[in-house]
Amino acid sequence: MNSKEQHTQLIKKQALELGFSFCGISQAGFLEEEAPRLENWLKANMHGEMKYMENHFDKRLDPRLLVPGAKSVISLLLNYYPQQQQNPDSYKISKYAYGEDYHFVIKDKLKNLLSFIQEEIGEVDGRVFVDSAPVLDKAWAAKSGLGWVGKNNNLINKGNGSFFFVAELILDLDLVYDNATTNHCGTCTACIDACPTQAIESPYVVNGSKCISYLTIELKDALPEQFSGKLDDWMYGCDVCQDVCPWNRFSKPHNEPLFLAKPNIIDYDKNQWNDLTQELFNEVFRKSAVKRTKYSGLMRNMKFLNGDK
């Protein structure tokens, strides 16, 4: 076994020991297929107010512009599918936000992995990424064989579904590269048919400005009247296109203690949420991704769901 193979095995083994669900590796380079797709999506203004998507166009498509001398993109998946379910008489919160903020949980694991690589292999330069920089994470995960990008633009793993966080480690180290897998969406249109706001305008084209996740989290202004009665009780994020995906019948509960659901998130009913105070919001959502929408945003969402504009 040559050193490249040894290094690859070592990294993949350590990634799993750190709690990651899957690890795949692809060669750093320009994402030719994604370039026109991203350009057309931006031109059609499907990113709404997410103006940051317009920045660093070249960097989004070429990790060598993010890490000088980059040779490998290590893609990692971390399962967040919960064992517990929310109270059925509650406003809905996306499953990924049941526990602690994934940005911090995953970044810690990635930093540990990078330190391990530098200790075991030597002088390796690299950067860790969790939704924090212009990296097309799902494209890289698909390239490295961890799944395919479905019609709802989520990464789908054949044996485990799509309830995964996707993260990257970009290194200036040559490794053995994995091959992309095949697409298994077939003729299924479950996600397109089920989307409450028709955000999936055609297979593989999601209009971000219509997506409930965008509306309840990213949008800072008043919610547009056209979506009245269409948010399906979601007050933070949305899982509809994943919940109906046939591949998610293979989802298995995660085993990450930091992602365990906070009791209030599981137990509260609508009346309790409607009475939420700023103080209680700070307490319930301490170290939570829900803090992104702020107390005012969450209250705005609930009022909209109640028909109170």
Task: Say how far apart CA 220 and CA 187 lie, in whole Å.
Answer: 36
Q: Are 65 and 59 in contact (CB under 8 A)?
A: yes
Q: Is 131 tagged catalytic? A: yes
Closest CA to 119 of 19, 7, 4: 7
Catalytic pick from 131, 172, 232, 243?
131
Task: Say how far apart CA 132 and CA 56 lie, in whole Å.
Answer: 13
Enumerate the active-site residues. 131
